[in-house]
Structure 1
Amino acid sequence: MKRFLTRSPRFQGIRFRMGMAMAIALLPILVLGAVQAQDEFRRQSIDRQADLQQAAGRAAMTAKARLDTATVLLEALAPEGNGPACAERLSSLVDRVEGFQALYRVGTGGASVCGGAVEGAAADVDFRDEVWFQRLRRGETITVGQATRAVSFTPALIVGVRWERPRGVFAGAMAAVLPLQDLQPDLADRSLPAGAQAALTDEAGQVLVATDARAFDLRRGETLLGWVERARQGESATFDAWDATGEHRDYAGAALAGRDVYVVVSAPSPGLLSWARLNPIGVLLLPLAAWLTAFAAVMLVSERIVIRWLDYLERIASLYARGRYSVRPVQAANAPSEIRVLASTLDSLADAISTRDGSLNESLAEKDALMREIHHRVKNNLQIISSLLSMQQRALKDEPAKVALGDTRQRISALALIYRTLYQSDDIRHADARDFINELVGQLVAAESGRGPLVTSAIDADSLVVDPDKLAPLALWLVEAVSNAQKHAFAGRGGALQVRFRVHGDTSVLEVEDDGPGPQEEPGKAGVGRTLMGAFAKQLRGEAELIPAPGGGTIARMVFATPEAVRPTDPQDLERSDAVVRPGTLTRTRR
């Protein structure tokens, strides 16, 4: 359960999941808004290209009017082109008529017969190799071409008109040179988008003149030739491309004069955020506001209707986990019906647990009383047996028999002491070995105190709360060790008795030291006491031995496996610096 509670409640709670569900449910609104914005964006792009196309058409019509004016003038001058004052007349027209750089009368061979030009332009030019002149010779009535450097020092167009004699015989041509700067489209048109540029191109897609040449210098080696070819075939005259500066632009164009000169108008393409210039409130902001409002409403409603009641029930459940079943979720009476059902279930659960706990506590109290009564009766029975043995001992005349009965009586008294310790303790299932050793040794020394010299005792024991089954062999071993010291070390002289009980992790040591003459038994021969001590040590999975004490005397030592234990009953033992904790909540302390 704790593993699941460690997850972040922010992303695992009901409120977040309900909010995400509502957000997903309302997502089509945002998608619809995005689709509408994209459709509006596409329509804007189409309208933009249409505006450019219309602007290009208007620019072409304006420039074409200039060309038509030049054509009418040339047709009017053609019959008078052979007069003696041809050059003077043409020069006078160039000076008086605005927009003409030069006028020429061209013979059948392509050389100029006469001409008039502004200052800096050539008056005598040979046009025999010019494409426009070759087309006139082949039969075309009017042609337009790009003027060479020999004709004009600035970019210009040549308009040629075929001159024929009767019966259609080619008699030469009249030509006019028009500066391209005068034919360039006007960017003052209000229908043009911001950043629009214009240019004139020839039939090969080469820019003749432009307001900003960078706008018509396309990236990746592209040219305007493809657009010119589509315009010739009557296809759409609009397209988009990237210019040399990296800006994406829309292009539109129209033919200016037949298939010789074309007008191209360019403007920056609308960006991805062009929807801001359309209708941002209706297209995107309203759907987004509806989505955010619904999401916030779900979060708020879930907090007021669900989350706060779940938090309240969680606090009630945490009180139940600590055993406070008297608290009832009375505030849930104002909650939604589902929450009230859950609160009623918790209330019923608390009642059931309280009833069960009361029954269990009564049973445990009854069981505890019975166990204490049993321990008390066992202790009384053992004392009765000990009293009977004492009476029998006094009736005997045989000294060895009296000693044997005395030893038996001591062992029975030790067992009786175990049961007395259990029914007098707070926990009848365990006993503290330290308290038991103190009382048992005191009882053994006190029993012999009136029969001979004084024997003093000193006890140093660690606390170890163990099961009575393990305490019995330990008590019987201690009875044998103390009795052995009383018989052999203190008989007729008294002395000092030291009892030490140490817990060293998995191993415990119980020692009984006297200040007598030392071990008296012959090697290889063990008495009944030694045999019993070894048997009791084996019951504790240990070993017993008698060794000389360093300062004289004998040490009876038993090293055994530390029994399973619970925490000691003495709180002071938990504060000892040398406390040892074993797995399974076992605690060992020194005192």
Structure 2
Amino acid sequence: MARLKELRRSLTFRIAGLLALALLPVGLISVVTTYQLLNKADRELRDGLLALTSEAAAEQEAAVRSATGVAKAFVGMIPVLRSTGFECEEPLQNILRDSPELSFLGYVANDGTLLCASADQGSDLSDRPLHKEFVENPGPRVKFNAMGAISKTAVVIVSLPVISDGAYDGYVTASLPHRQLNRPTPGTVGRERPLELITFNAEGEVLTSTANGDREERFLPSNRSLSALVSGEEATFVARVASGEERLFALSPIVPGQVFALGSWEYRRGPMFGGLGIGSSLLFPLLMWVVSLLVAFFAVQRMVIKPTRNLRARMLQFMRSRRLVEPNNDPSIPTEIRDMEETWMRLAENILHDEAELYDTIHQRTVLLKEVHHRVKNNLQLIVSLVGMKMRKAKSPAVKLALSNVQQRVMSIARVHQNLYETSTAERVRAGELLDAITGQIVAAASQGEEELDLETRFDDCEVYPDQAVPLSLAVSELITNALKHIGPLEGEKKARLEVSLNCEEGSGHGQVKVCNTLPPEPVPQVEDSTGLGEQLVRAFSSQMEAAVHREETDTHYTVIIDFPIQGFDDNIVPSDHVIPVSSGTPRRDRALSS
């Protein structure tokens, strides 16, 4: 989330957003226009399919209408033929001769007797399902019969009721050979998208189909039946077939209320612009918008963002190494960016000049401060020498002991100033390095040798200010000196052990000094009773550091722990041993600091 917020504030994101908003109306207009054209093409496609369906069903329509007309004429002839005793075969044969699309004409009475027919007159049709349907529900019908009672072949039967004296008196049938009506239609739109034509009656029964022997369900809508499509108006709709394919359907009445034609065509919405569909047609203006956005963004990236990033990279390099890198002589960079780079170069040169003067000032101050430490150490050593001369001339052991204690403490202070001069910088003192040097010097100057003392030290890398380093060093010196006075080997051991450690946990802001020595079974004899001056000095030095002193004593060990806060450093202050650039471009340390 933080990364996303940072990205939203970037110049790249904002320019991209503005360009997208600026070009969005053009893209929307293109999409809307394309969508309108696609809808228009889709309407034209539906109208074309409806006309194609009507054209493809023209043969079936003509045949059914012809059969219906002949059947109506035959109904009018029934009274005349009845008066002649139904001598029908010759007149009906003449009618069939004039209407070659018909294969049979006949009049069936209520009882199922074929009273008048072009063939097989007198046959009994009472057990036929079609006869029972006509008797139960008289009315005009168009039906498909897979096995005609007379022709013994598949026929489409057009039937009309015969009304005599206001009462139902049988029906007239006109049969059409199914094989002639079921021929494949020539109506196609391209070889890849043939038109499939299906005709059906008012009950939703299929009369003819161009499926070439395949099941009609492959080309019929799966979500609605044919009986639900019966209407008196032309219509087009899109639906899915049983296989899941989406197809376009056109409904056209052949005989209103009785026979209907349904055209089925593979649906490809909006085939326009060289055959592009709706997806590719709508994608085209979107692609144009994206390309325009990318071109504009690339131009801004090339002329603004990239030079700005390069300038920022040179700034970061200057900040880390104080090295100036000349800008690239790229003619594509705008004048405004070039002016910014020139201004930055001048500013960086002024910063280098000011820093060089500042480093010289700090160097001089560091040299003077170290000289002060050196002179203080020399003066303290002179005092130690004078005290030693007095101590040698003294006659009283008490005076010698007192002068010896003074000499040791002055020598400890001298050691602190010597180590400040030799091991640390002027602004930051490495406490671990300082305490390590002081511990080694005090132990080496003590009476015990390596064969009598086992020294364990562990000092963390910790930096403190000089006003903390001095009291810390003096307090540790007093603790080590006091430990050496009372130290002794444990029972059964030959060497005494002294442990001195400095623990500084990173980020805690606290340091801890620990001095621990072993105690012998018998107390070490002292020249005189302790005055407690060393303990007082440790408390005084700890108070200067705002530290807490903890003492722990057992039968075998004596431990003193000083817990002190570490003052934080101001990173804005340039340290005296900072790496400064030279003319060759490679960094070096100030040689005067180690001279």
Q: TM-score, normalised by structure 2?
A: 0.66
Aligned ranges for residues 125-274 of structure 1 at < 5 Å?
A: 130=134, 146=143, 154-158=154-158, 175=172, 177-179=174-176, 181=178, 184=181, 187-190=184-187, 194-212=193-211, 213-214=216-217, 219=222, 222-224=225-227, 226-228=228-230, 230-231=231-232, 235-239=233-237, 241-243=239-241, 246-247=244-245, 248-256=247-255, 259=257, 261-268=258-265, 270-272=267-269, 274=271
* One-letter identity of the residue aligned with 2:529: A
Shift of 1:412: 1.7
* 2: CA distance, partners of 1:334 / 1:114: 101
* 1: CA distance, partners of 2:355 / 2:413: 35
Match of 2:529 among 526, 531, 545: 526
Encode CA deviations 1:290-340: one digit per residue, 9 max, x unaligned: 234324424543443244324422431331232324334465786224533
Shift of 1:51: 3.1
Shift of 1:470: 0.7
Q: Does 1:41 align with 2:36?
A: no
Aligned ranges for residues 82-481 of structure 1 at < 5 Å?
A: 83=84, 86-90=87-91, 92-93=93-94, 98-104=100-106, 113-117=115-119, 123=123, 130=134, 146=143, 154-158=154-158, 175=172, 177-179=174-176, 181=178, 184=181, 187-190=184-187, 194-212=193-211, 213-214=216-217, 219=222, 222-224=225-227, 226-228=228-230, 230-231=231-232, 235-239=233-237, 241-243=239-241, 246-247=244-245, 248-256=247-255, 259=257, 261-268=258-265, 270-272=267-269, 274=271, 278-279=275-276, 283-284=281-282, 286-329=284-327, 331=329, 335-344=333-342, 346-390=344-388, 392-393=390-391, 396-428=394-426, 429-430=428-429, 432-442=434-444, 460=455, 462=457, 464=459, 467-479=469-481
Q: Does 1:509 align with 2:511?
A: no
* One-letter identity of the residue aligned with 2:324: S
Shift of 1:365: 2.0
* 2: CA distance, partners of 1:325 / 1:346: 13
* One-letter identity of the residue aligned with 2:225: E
Match in the other structure for 2:593:
none
* One-letter identity of the residue aligned with 1:439: Q
Q: For 1:198, what is the secondary structure of its paired residue?
A: strand
Preserved contact between residue 534 and residue 543 of structure 1 (Cα < 8 Å): no
Q: Taking structure 1 as reference, are residues 424 and 532 closer, same or farther at Cα in structure 2, changes over 3 Å only?
A: same
Q: Taking structure 1 as reference, are residues 47 and 480 closer, same or farther at Cα in structure 2, changes over 3 Å only?
A: same
Shift of 1:361: 2.2
Q: Which runs of 5+ in 1 are unaligned?
A: 136-142, 447-453, 489-495, 549-554, 567-591
Shift of 1:472: 0.9
Preserved contact between residue 378 and residue 419 of structure 1 (Cα < 8 Å): yes
Encode CA deviations 1:15-45: one digit per residue, 9 max, x unaligned: 5765566456344234543453344334423
* 2: CA distance, partners of 1:49 / 1:348: 80
* One-letter identity of the residue aligned with 1:262: V
Q: Taking structure 1 as reference, are residues 244 and 358 closer, same or farther at Cα in structure 2, changes over 3 Å only?
A: closer
* One-letter identity of the residue aligned with 1:422: L
Identity %: 18
Moved more, 147-156 or 333-342: 147-156
Q: For 1:471, what is the secondary structure of its paired residue?
A: helix
Encode CA deviations 1:205-229: one digit per residue, 9 max, x unaligned: 44344445436865456343x543x
Q: Taking structure 1 as reference, are residues 253 and 185 closer, same or farther at Cα in structure 2, changes over 3 Å only?
A: farther
Shift of 1:250: 0.8
* 2: CA distance, partners of 1:422 / 1:239: 98
Preserved contact between residue 103 and residue 175 of structure 1 (Cα < 8 Å): yes
Q: Taking structure 1 as reference, are residues 264 and 192 closer, same or farther at Cα in structure 2, changes over 3 Å only?
A: farther
Q: Taking structure 1 as reference, are residues 289 and 362 closer, same or farther at Cα in structure 2, changes over 3 Å only?
A: same
* 2: CA distance, partners of 1:396 / 1:105: 166
* 1: CA distance, partners of 2:471 / 2:8: 55
Q: Taking structure 1 as reference, are residues 500 and 86 closer, same or farther at Cα in structure 2, changes over 3 Å only?
A: same
Preserved contact between residue 386 and residue 412 of structure 1 (Cα < 8 Å): yes
* 1: CA distance, partners of 2:158 / 2:397: 160
Preserved contact between residue 460 and residue 501 of structure 1 (Cα < 8 Å): yes
Q: TM-score, normalised by structure 1?
A: 0.67
Instruction: Report the RMSD for the aligned CA atoms in angstroms.
Output: 5.3
Moved more, 101-110 or 426-435: 101-110
Q: Taking structure 1 as reference, are residues 513 and 422 closer, same or farther at Cα in structure 2, changes over 3 Å only?
A: farther
* 2: CA distance, partners of 1:147 / 1:501: 115
* One-letter identity of the residue aligned with 1:197: E
Match in the other structure for 2:584:
none
Preserved contact between residue 78 and residue 174 of structure 1 (Cα < 8 Å): no
* One-letter identity of the residue aligned with 1:365: H
